[in-house]
Amino acid sequence: ASGLGRKGALRAAHLDASGLQSELGEAMAEALGCGGHVAEEHLMAIEEQILPMWRTLPKVAGDRVERRSLRYLVHRHFNRKSALHIRGFEPTRPANASGWGDADILSQRVPAYVESVLESRHKLERGFSQRDAAVMIATLEQLIFDSESALLEKVYKEQFKPIDRSLSTQGLGQVLESYMVHWMMSEDKDAIRLLLANRTLLETSFPHWEQLVGFVHGEMKSLDFRRQNTPHATSADASSRRGHNALAQRYSFDDAHGIIGGITKSFASYWESECASMKEALIDMDTRHTGRVPLSKFYSSGLDSDWRFGESETYLRELGALDETNVWIGKQVIIPNYIQAASNCIVSAPHYLVCCVNDCESLLGEIEEAVGSPVAEPSELLAVVGNLSSQATLSDDPPRDLKGSLTNQLEQI
């Protein structure tokens, strides 16, 4: 990550198309370090993944989108793939004309990228292309990868393990278990020190520690399994090589990094049972079956429940999880919006959050795939929604009855 520093002043505000791509390439190289490069195949794969979403975004000029739409797309992409919320890209964060913001991972780590590309007058006037979105996603992927590497190096150093020396199965397990404590406790250095110094305290006070250890060791066994059963594939990605293969169970720093990268991407799915428990507690309070909980019930229920719902009204309002439109029922908490709150996220890393899986993503993705444009007639949308194959719960049995006030509201838009 040493190549992420500032490398020059602001580029020219006005750039032609070819010059802009050159600037983008230079900024990308800065993000990836000296000699950094993203394979064309990877960028094309990202473009394919975001295409259904891209088609439904409003365009400002040709096939280009404005900055707010770009931020929305990037957030949705990481949320859909791994339930990651990239800091600075959260949907509740206002995107104004003054800049991307100090909390933005790009602003923190690659100021030249932000200045020359994202805030250039050329981009603000003409918008961003699908390739721009793919490059931004690839850059963020690399920055997350780098941040994982830095934390892993820290753990190696704490355990006096040289990063250029291979580890045994036991040694790798020690590193990964310590990494999980650092990762999940984030900046709480005192708690990290206490937990790592006292195994009994760690096992009794850390939520579901034994299950987490099982999950980590399962990821290690997954690498062993791939080495044994797909030797050609693991040789191609360098996770299997001389001295590090099915016959010699030794693990390099890159092997450990590959495992924690997989943990980052899959952890939300592993932790989903906790999110489901919270969701069930909220649904039990939704006696009107509207996806909303009266605010008074939301606060009072925490007294006799495993969950302590205590976020302030101001926070809920900023989150977009507070419905204040019904004067008869009063203020209500919108369940799906609340579940996605940062306060409910499992891991709070410096540059991203690992949050609950968004049940709406699969449904919205299916609608985007079917509609394929920024606008559609109400009748078309109702036909698509009435035949959705994705299910938010096992009890969903299509076809659905869509008649009622919501249908009327849609037709009045």
pLDDT given at position 330: 93
Rounded Cα distance, 184 and 111, in Å: 28
Q: Is the pLDDT of residue 241 over 70?
A: no
Mean pLDDT of the chain: 80
Mean pLDDT to the nearest integer, 377-402: 72
Per the listing, tokens 């032609």 go with 16
Rounded Cα distance, 130 and 133, in Å: 5
Indicate the residue type of 185. Answer: M
Q: Is the pLDDT of residue 300 over 90?
A: no
Mean pLDDT to the nearest integer, 345-349: 90
Mean pLDDT to the nearest integer, 31-41: 64
pTM recorded for the entire structure = 0.81
State the Cα angle at 334 between 333 and 339, rounded to 5°: 100
* 8 A C-beta contact, residue 371 and residue 387: no
Mean pLDDT to the nearest integer, 223-239: 70
Backbone φ/ψ region at 243: left (φ over 0), alpha (ψ -120 to 50), beta: left
Per the listing, tokens 């920024």 go with 374
Peptide bond into 207 cis (omega under 30): no
* pLDDT tens for each residue of 314-329: 999 988 899 999 989 9
* 8 A C-beta contact, residue 153 and residue 163: yes
Which of 108, 90, 107 shows the shortest CA–CA distance to 98?
Answer: 107
* 8 A C-beta contact, residue 257 and residue 239: no
